[in-house]
Amino acid sequence: MIRVLIADDHPVVRQGLRTFLDLQEDITVVGEAADGAQAVELADELVPDVLLLDLKMPVLDGLGALGRLSGALPRVIVLTSVSDRSDVGPAMRAGASGFLYKDVDPNALVQAVRAVHGGQVLLAPEAAEAMLSGGNGAPSLTGPVSLTEREREVLALIAAGQSNREIARSLSVAEKTVKTHVSNVLMKLGVQDRTQAALYAVRHGLA
């Protein structure tokens, strides 16, 4: 079962999300938080697999909550009604694995929960465009660069959400070798992290 924690200051939104998600055979909602501080507290207490996190909340906003979450868990999907694209970059750099808007189709949200739980990075088209366009501090990812065949393979696996250890297993190479390839890919693309590399791969058909 994929354990989900919902953080949103609107009770109706929380109830709607819980009702739909609990209908899924492989998803269960383990808790609800009404603000960012409570989200951090419940994440530590309940150890969910995925956190659906609103950005605009009282006490502590979503970005503040992202900064306080401990460890690698849970994987976070920002789910917001705010259309300000300047929030996308900071949220992804703070550790979010997904960025969606509240008008997302319910079935697409379920698929997003499953995808992010499986290690993938997932963004709404508008959010992806905000990252790719070089807005909110992200480098502009334009024009294909010269990657070796192995680096292209590594980039494709990064876009698939695989960790260095998983990539090493997929390619039958040492994890240290993968780290070198990843560093080279990031340098050649002129990006700072794996999320931006994954977005490049999607944009240029390398995923």
**HEC profile of the chain:** CEEEEEECCCHHHHHHHHHHHCCCCCEEEEEEECCHHHHHHHHHHHCCCEEEECCCCCCCCHHHHHHHCCCCCCEEEEEECCCCHHHHHHHHHCCCCEEEECCCCHHHHHHHHHHHHCCCCEECHHHHHHHHCCCCCCCCCCCCCCCCHHHHHHHHHHHCCCCHHHHHHHHCCCHHHHHHHHHHHHHHHCCCCHHHHHHHHHHCCCC
pLDDT the model gives residue 12:
95
Q: What is the pLDDT of residues 52-82, one digit of tens each?
A: 999 999 999 999 999 898 665 689 999 998 7
pLDDT the model gives residue 16:
94
Q: What is the pLDDT of residues 158-184, one digit of tens each?
A: 888 888 899 999 999 999 999 999 988
Segment 7-22 shows an average pLDDT of: 95
The more confident residue out of 8 and 124 is 8
The more confident residue out of 34 and 82 is 34
pLDDT the model gives residue 72:
58
